[in-house]
Amino acid sequence: MTADNLGGWPDPQPRMGFFTDTSVCIGCKACEVACKEWNAVPDDGFELLGHSYDNTGGLSANSWRHVAFIEQPVPTDVLAEAEAGPGDMRWLMMSNVCKHCTHAGCLDVCPTGSLFRTEFGTVVVQEDICNGCGYCIPACPYGVIDQRKDDGRAWKCTLCYDRVGDGLTPACAQACPTRSIQFGEVGELRERAAARVEALHGQGVGEARLYGHDPDDGVGGNGAFFLLLDEPEVYGLPPDPIVPTRDLPAMWRRAGLAGLAMAAAVVVSFLGGRP
């Protein structure tokens, strides 16, 4: 694990995270309910959005887990294997959550230290010192963080920091009946995910792919990553997420060099003008 946003602070614990296998998600929303119950997350208003069975709409300050329902025609190349006819539909389901990025822009911009990296490599908001500035919201390339309207503070998934600290499984993973949400050490989860994709490809599910697992992507890889059955955009995920603060060090270096060049020019001009 890279000790990001910690100034080289050593990692006393293995990095922990989620692997979400959407190919076995049944859309039961047990993860949403368990998350709300354990973390005392308020309800969302129980609105009927008219988008399949999705009454949450997306991640927010009051929805730290969101089960998406995507209805689409069965692809032509799998019609025979699915024993479906033209015009038949299929559901793609995915339980979305904070990605707990390796390079977390929200940490970079938080002025109060409310956001911090835990010893498990996860990213947590300390609501008691959040001043509601909202800088973290545009800094997240996934649109995860949100403010509650009643107090303005930022809220998101903590990966059940309190439970993990006590050696327990996060509430959502504990409640998942199909093990679509798997919790563990990130390195081991990545190996498990790669094996799962290979198995699906062997079963003829060629569209299976991993998302957010690559340490070389624009956020340095995620602590919460996914197995998808279609392009990321279908699930409302950015295809190439980049943390907005990624180029800050290079920008500061260029600004520093420009400042030094201007100072040197002033000195030379001053010395050159002396008799």
Question: Among residues 174, 29, 164, which one has the least CA distance to residue 95?
Answer: 29
Tens place of pLDDT per residue across the chain (275 aa): 444 454 444 456 899 999 999 999 999 999 999 999 999 999 877 777 777 778 788 999 999 999 999 988 876 655 555 555 556 788 899 999 999 999 999 999 999 999 999 999 999 999 999 999 999 999 999 999 999 988 899 999 999 999 999 999 999 999 999 999 999 999 999 999 999 999 999 999 999 999 999 998 889 999 999 999 999 999 999 999 988 776 655 554 555 666 776 776 666 676 765 55
176 known member of a binding site: yes
Query: What is the Cα–Cα distance from 130 to 15, expressed in whole angstroms?
Result: 25
Tell whether residue 63 is among the known ligand binding residues.
no
| CA max distance for the chain | 94
Q: Are 145 and 58 in contact (CB under 8 A)?
A: no
25 is in an annotated binding site: yes
Asked whether residue 262 is marked as a ligand-binding residue, the answer is: no
Coil/strand/helix, residue 76: helix
Please tell me the distance from the alpha carbon of residue 59 to that of residue 142, in angstroms, as a whole number. Answer: 10
Do residues 62 and 131 share a domain? yes
In this structure, the answer to whether residues 67 and 203 fall within a common structural domain is yes
Residue 212, domain CATH:
3.30.70.20
160 is in an annotated binding site: yes
Domain range for residue 260?
245-275
Same domain as 121, residue 21: yes
User: 106: annotated binding-site residue?
Assistant: yes
Q: Is 98 annotated as a binding residue?
A: yes
Residue 9 maps to a domain: no
Q: For the chain, what is the domain count?
A: 2
Residue 10 belongs to a domain: no
* 55 and 165 both lie in a single domain: yes
Is 193 labelled a binding residue? no
> What's the CA gap between 92 and 228, in Å, rounded?
9
257 is in an annotated binding site: no
Euclidean distance between CA atoms 192 and 189, whole angstroms: 5
Q: Distance from first CA to last CA of the chain, Å, rounded?
A: 60
35 marked as part of a ligand binding site: yes
- Does 28 appear as a known binding residue? yes
User: Do 250 and 118 share a structural domain?
Assistant: no
